[in-house]
Structure 1
Amino acid sequence: MTHEAHVRAHVHDHAPAATWSMAARATLHCLTGCAIGEVLGMVIGTALGWGNLPTTIAAIALAFFFGYALTLRGVLRAGVDFRTAVRVALAADTLSIAVMELIDNGVIALWPGAMEAQLVDLLFWATLAISLAAAFVVTTPVNKWTIGRGKGHAVVHRYHR
């Protein structure tokens, strides 16, 4: 029996107990990928003199890329084939990353002067830190809700048992 078949054979049909701790860990995992992508996208866009829209698009695209990549790495380590691992990462992270990016970029867009701040400005880094913290606070209940329904990061946890 392959590892994937073994995991599927032992997956229960009921949703796991969703604790705040579990939701916070899932959100922190998501935040890590999002932060890597956000910072990299903003640094690239700002350093190359791109406007706000292309810089924001690059940051969001890289946040999704790194968010999925971190999940993909863990699922592949569990012995799952690449195609299945991609489906697991998409199922586990899409809503979480989308909410995180909406909040994160919303805070930055609404913060006076943040969109014009440069890499050397304290405002650039302070706003980024505050926006990621706000995204964590808003996304944690979303992850708790999805995990409690056997979705989101609950899908990944099935492959870590």
Structure 2
Amino acid sequence: MEHKATWSAAATATLHCLTGCAIGEVLGMVIGTALGLHNAATVVLAIVLAFVFGYALTMRGVLRAGLDFGSALKVALVADTVSIAVMELLDNAFLLAVPGAMDAGLSSALFWASLGGALLVAFVLTTPVNRWMMSRGRGHAVVHEFHGQSHGH
């Protein structure tokens, strides 16, 4: 079975993944920073929430296509785990590498600029990973068989 794995399709899949990751990442960083959690605890919280929101966004579309919750969860796990893991590794490494970013407050331009930069780096470097996986029928390619069954997403 041949799989369409254009750069455009890979970028779209990565952007979809990034949306869920960004929601979780920002929430985790905001909550951790607001509560004064240690950097490690803040990063763990951000990663957990990134996976939760990343999977939830994929499941939302697949559930609309008529799959039951268990099947939708399996599709999300197969479709997004590698992409989210790569993205989280990259963006958290970036944040940890920027001097003072993790200790900057929520009102700091350094905090928000670093977070934005981290998400941009994650998007740029995860897109080729997603393209490679999609060309092999893995990753986000799994979700595409369910698109069109609902509203043509």
Instruction: Report the 3-state secondary structure (helix = DSSP H, G, I; strand = E; otherwise coil) of the residue aligned with 2:99.
Output: coil
Query: What's the counterpart of residue 72 of structure 1?
Result: 59
Provide runs of 4+ in structure 1 moved above 2 Å: none
Q: Tell me the TM-score normalized by structure 2.
A: 0.95
Query: What's the counterpart of residue 32 of structure 1?
Result: 19
Query: What's the counterpart of residue 135 of structure 2?
Result: 148
Q: How many residues align?
A: 148
Q: Does 1:16 align with 2:3?
A: yes
User: In structure 2, what is the Cα distance between the partners aligned to 1:57 and 1:17?
Assistant: 35
Q: Does 1:157 align with 2:147?
A: no
Q: Does 1:61 align with 2:48?
A: yes
Q: 1:87 aligns with which of 33, 57, 74?
A: 74
Instruction: Report the 3-state secondary structure (helix = DSSP H, G, I; strand = E; otherwise coil) of the residue aligned with 1:150.
Output: coil
User: In structure 2, what is the Cα distance between the partners aligned to 1:15 and 1:51?
Assistant: 47
Q: 2:117 aligns with which of 94, 117, 130?
A: 130
1:116 Cα deviation after fit? 1.0
Instruction: Report the 3-state secondary structure (helix = DSSP H, G, I; strand = E; otherwise coil) of the residue aligned with 1:50.
Output: coil
Alpha-carbon RMSD across the aligned residues, in angstroms, is 0.6
Q: Tell me the TM-score normalized by structure 1.
A: 0.90
Unaligned runs of 5+ in 1: 1-13
1:41–1:58 contact (8 Å) kept in structure 2 = yes
Q: 2:106 aligns with which of 119, 136, 142?
A: 119
User: In structure 2, what is the Cα distance between the partners aligned to 1:61 and 1:104?
Assistant: 14
Unaligned runs of 5+ in 2: 149-153
Pair 1:15–1:150, CA change in 2 (3 A):
farther
User: In structure 2, what is the Cα distance between the partners aligned to 1:24 and 1:98?
Assistant: 16
Q: Does 1:107 align with 2:98?
A: no
| Percent sequence identity over aligned pairs | 66
The structure with the largest alpha-carbon Rg is 1
1:15–1:147 contact (8 Å) kept in structure 2 = no
1:15 Cα deviation after fit? 3.4
Instruction: Report the 3-state secondary structure (helix = DSSP H, G, I; strand = E; otherwise coil) of the residue aligned with 1:90.
Output: helix
Instruction: Report the 3-state secondary structure (helix = DSSP H, G, I; strand = E; otherwise coil) of the residue aligned with 2:3.
Output: coil
1:138 Cα deviation after fit? 0.4
User: In structure 1, what is the Cα distance between the partners aligned to 2:103 and 2:142?
Assistant: 39
